[in-house]
Each structure stands twice: as structure tokens, then as C-alpha cells.
Amino acid sequence: MIGRLFGFRGGIKPDAHKNESASAAIRSAPLPRRLVVPLRQSTRATARCIVQPGQKVLKGQRIGEPDGFLGTAVHAPTSGTVVDFGRYTMAHPSGLETRCVVIEPDGEDCWIDHAPFDYRGRSREEALAWLRACGIVGLGGATFPAHVKLGKGAGIDTLVLNGAECEPWITCDDRLMRERAADVLAGALILRELIGARELVIGVEDNKPEAIGAMRAAVGTTTGASVVPVPALYPAGGEKQLIRVLTGIEIPYGKLGADYGVQCFNVGTAHAVFRAIVHGEPLISRIITLTGNVEQPGNWEVLVGTPIDELLRLAGPRADTDRYLMGGPMMGFALPRLDVPVVKGSNCIISASPAMFPPPPPEQPCIRCGECARHCPAELQPFELYWFSRARNFGKAQEYHLFDCIECGCCSYVCPSHIPLVDYYRFAKSEIWARERDKTAADQARVRFEFRNFRQEREKEEKAAKLAAKAAETRAKLASDDPADAAVTDTAPAAGAAAAEDPKKALIAAALARAQAQKAAAQPRNVDNLSAETQAEIDEIEARRRAAGTVPAATSGAQSAASAPDINP
């Protein structure tokens, strides 16, 4: 069991703003007029649509098949009719579109037939396939597929359940642990058994005493499980930071916790696993915090695909709200529009106003104070990454471990020059990814071009080899003593020389020789049983031709008749 806590370098302590939304119990959001269910629930994977417009679907029915190793299934959040399948704007700062299934609810909310899954009586591979079929992904924000993160069932000693929820304003995990602690623990124990871990450690920030008490009551005397309060320091909820605090294991650059015998799951993911295994329910809803500049902040259980503009009416944004943030103020982003749907990774929507979130001051030159480096929890050098990203020197940025940045925003928060450092890092990462995609496409095009040239050269060589073989065969025939070939030799004396010079010429000469030989050997038609007068006429004609030199003197009468016109006696 955990004997003591450790610390991590850096971090900040912003105003938590938890009490605004944590005091009210979880409420169920009403059915929207339409559900826009994205088939791409994360940037890593998508699903293949298996329904058609006009088709009736039931709650929990699969509407998207997993596509690829990282793919998970997508399900209908309620019963209704599929009215469209097309591209709709997704909840992303770029405002990109993705393929979505639009469902018009019928109001009956009728479930498909579903039953518990006996994961103890089935193989581990079947249990992972079941989680994949239920669409279980990480609900901490990354939406990484749970069936992939569970690994091979060996090599993991400690399973960490992340209930830190360090981001300001967000309280969905807090309320989940308060109200459904037993279900969260049951899901965590299932994960522990599937991953093969010996110990379960539930980390909760110490500014959530009610959640800590509820989880400890649920754990009780459970063997190998413990609830550990951790200091409220942002970003203590980061995977590597929480593992460091709870176990003392420091995950190096480019490595994962699983490489050191530790795996981390969110409490929301554990609850979704419990629903999938014990009740056979796919992941079709999640708890979302609605807070900020609103009349009724709180947490709602929302169906995936619910348009955000309909969801915001539940909280009642005030008149001076000027923008909306998805996620927390540190790592979230401003929504480009409000008709985008809720996805599995959506955990909070903050209504912002100029008074609550003042516009940032103008960016000023970096003064090299080093505050960003002192507060970086990943122990990077943010000011160096800033200069390299701004100068588009992406190679040097990668040398300074750009991709180890978790984009927590601590550097931007403490910067006295008000430089949006994380924006520069995101820009550099996107440029590097774009260049890698272009390089990959160019490499694939080069490989295809080189293979095309290789194929053409190979076909040319094969054709030349066939011609050479045929020419050799022709030379062998020309050199034989076959009477038929002897005639060919008489009529085409240059064929052998041509074959030695050029295989193509040899083939042509041989073909001409064969044609002449066939013509000479052809039997005339209508020359059988000729009358004496007709034969005499033919012989007279042939005599005149021989006198003129058009027929070889050695030609016999029967052969001469072959060149005479057809005559019917």
C-alpha cells in the first residue's frame, strides 16, 4: 500500500471555483429535438456507419462499427429515426467537420435487449472485445480506447484511478464519486482484474472531502484497494504527475506508465466499464459540468450527440456572456459555434463573460525571467520552445522535447509578458505533424514511382528474353535438315544472318520464310480428274511462264497447277 506521498516539480494553484457547481446533485438532461452523433469521437479513430436514413433505431443499438485497431463502436443514445448521415461541425477549436448520424428521438427511449456480461466465465480477449463493442473510451479527456489501454493482462502491478480533477471549475468527477462511489469502485475492480494488477490506488485531491469520504466508505475493507488524498496542485491530475505523487515513479520522456508497471484510468471510465459489464449498457451518455456565468450551475447527465445550444438552456447563461469554453480554463478551448454536439470527451462547458474572464493583455517581449520553466510540471524549458516555435525551427523544438509538453497552460498562466506559450507549442506540433504527413505521402509516391519503373524494366527484360528465346529456336530450325525447313533456307537465305544480328529481324524473316514455304506446299483446288484438254491448257500456260522466267524450272506440274487459276471442267 502507499506509505507516503511524493511531489512533482512545478505546478500552480489557480482559483478552483469548484463550489459553484459541486453543491447540486447530478440531474438528467431532457431529450433534445435532434441528436447529432459523431462517428469520430476522438482524433485517433473513427467508426463506419452501418445505418441508413429512414431507419428506426433503438436506444443502445450500434450505429457505427469500429474502424481500425483504435476504433470503438458508436451507439444510438435513444430510440428514434435516422434522418441524415453527413458531415457536421464537431467540437474542435478548428471548426472541422466530421461524419455524423442524425437521429430524431421518438420520445419512447426504448432500449435494445441487453444483459450483463460474465467476464469471469469468458476469456480476457472476449471481455476486451465486449468493452470495445460497448464503445468504452477514457473519459478524462483523451478518449483513448479502454480495450487498448488494458494491455496484455500482465506486467502491471498498480492500477491508479484518477479522481484528482485538478482543472478549475470542473466538478463532474467530484459529483460522480459522491453519488455513485460503489459503481465507480466496482468498475475499478473489474479493470484491476482485467489488467492483472495487484493494487488499486484511488487518488483524489484533498479539496474534495465529500468525494474522499464516499470512496473510502465504498472501499471499506476491500483487499488491495485504497483511497489516497493528494495535494490540490494543478496539474496533479495529469497521468505522469499523479503516478509520481502516488507511487514515486517518475516516467521519463517518451515513456508510458505501463512501461513501469503502472496504469491510470479516470473514475468516469471505471463507471462506464461497470455499466458495460454489469448491465450490458454501451457508453451513450456522460456527466457534464455547466458552470461559469450562468444562473444555475451544476452537473447534468447528457446523451452523446446533444447539441450544446440546447444543453446551455438548462443552466441559463446570463446576458453578458460573450463566449463558451469546452473544458477547463487552462486546457479548454473556445467553441467556434454552439450547434456542435457533445462527444464522449466533453466534461465541462463554461459560459465566459468579460468580467469573469477578462481578455488577455497584449503580448509583450519575453524577458527571460524563467518563471515558465520553474512552474513547468514536465520539467521542460518553455522559453526555449517558444523561441524555436516562433522562429519555425521545428527541429530544435523537437530536440528540446516539444512533444513531452502536456499543454497544461502553467507557463502561460505565470508568464509576466502575457505570452500565449501553449498556442505556440500547439502551432509547432501541428506544423510538424503536417510535414510528417506530407513526407509520408511523398515517400509513398516515390515508392510507387520506383516500383512502376522497376515493373516496366522487368517487363522489358522479360519481353527481350522471350524474343531472344524465340530467335534461338528459329536459328535452330533454320540449321536443321528438315525438308520443310530446307525450303525455308532456299527461299530466305538471309534469315540466319538476320537472326544473329537482331532477334526481331530474325523473327520477321522466319515468319516470311514460313509463309513462302506454306504457299509453296499448298495443294491447288479443283485440279483433280482434269480433262485432257484442260490439262493441256494448263501445261501450255506453265510453259509460257517458264519461258518468261516467273516459275522455277524445277516446279512440277502438280505444283505449277497450284499457281494456276481455278478452272471448273
pLDDT tens figures, 110-134: 999 999 999 999 999 999 999 999 9
**Is 0.75 surpassed by the pTM of this model?**
yes
- Partners of 333 in beta bridges: 326
Range with lowest mean pLDDT among 11-25, 180-194, 385-399, 521-535: 521-535
Distance CA 172, CA 414 (A): 27
Average pLDDT estimate for 161-175? 95
pLDDT at 494 over 70: no
Q: Are 283 and 1 in contact (CB under 8 A)?
A: no
Q: Are 408 and 377 in contact (CB under 8 A)?
A: yes
Higher pLDDT, 521 or 350: 350
Average pLDDT estimate for 523-534? 72
Residue spans per domain, the chain: 19-352, 371-433, 480-524+533-549
Question: What are the tens digits of pLDDT across the range 369-378?
Answer: 999 999 999 9
Average pLDDT estimate for 230-253? 92
Cis peptide before 235 (omega within 30 of 0): yes
How high is the pLDDT of residue 489? 47
Average pLDDT estimate for 150-168? 92
Distance CA 86, CA 38 (A): 10
How high is the pLDDT of residue 552? 53
How high is the pLDDT of residue 565? 46
pLDDT at 41 over 50: yes
Percent of the chain with pLDDT over 70: 90
pLDDT at 1 over 70: no
Average pLDDT estimate for 40-66? 90
Question: What are the tens digits of pLDDT across the range 178-198?
Answer: 999 999 999 999 999 999 999
**The domain over range 19-352 is classified in CATH as 3.40.50.2300:** no
Average pLDDT estimate for 494-510? 62
pLDDT at 509 over 90: no
217: number of Cβ within 10 Å: 12
Task: Starting at the earlier edge strand, list the strands of the sheet with 46-49.
Answer: 46-49, 62-67, 74-75
How high is the pLDDT of residue 527? 66
Question: What are the tens digits of pLDDT across the range 441-484?
Answer: 999 999 999 999 999 999 999 999 998 888 888 888 877 755 55
pLDDT at 504 over 90: no
Rounded (5°) CA angle 233-234-237: 100
Give me the phi and psi of 518, to 5 degrees please. Answer: -65, -35
How high is the pLDDT of residue 525? 63
Question: What are the tens digits of pLDDT across the range 222-233?
Answer: 899 999 999 999
- pLDDT tier for residue 13 given thresholds of 50, 70 and 90: very high
- pLDDT tier for residue 411 given thresholds of 50, 70 and 90: very high
DSSP 459-476: HHHHHHHHHHHHHHHHHH
Distance CA 252, CA 10 (A): 16
How high is the pLDDT of residue 192? 95
Instruction: Determine which helix (DSSP H) or strand (DSSP E) holds 57, and give its type and residue range.
Output: strand 56-57
pLDDT at 524 over 70: no
Question: Considering the chain, what is the average pLDDT of its residues?
Answer: 88
Percent of the chain with pLDDT over 90: 71
pLDDT at 52 over 60: yes
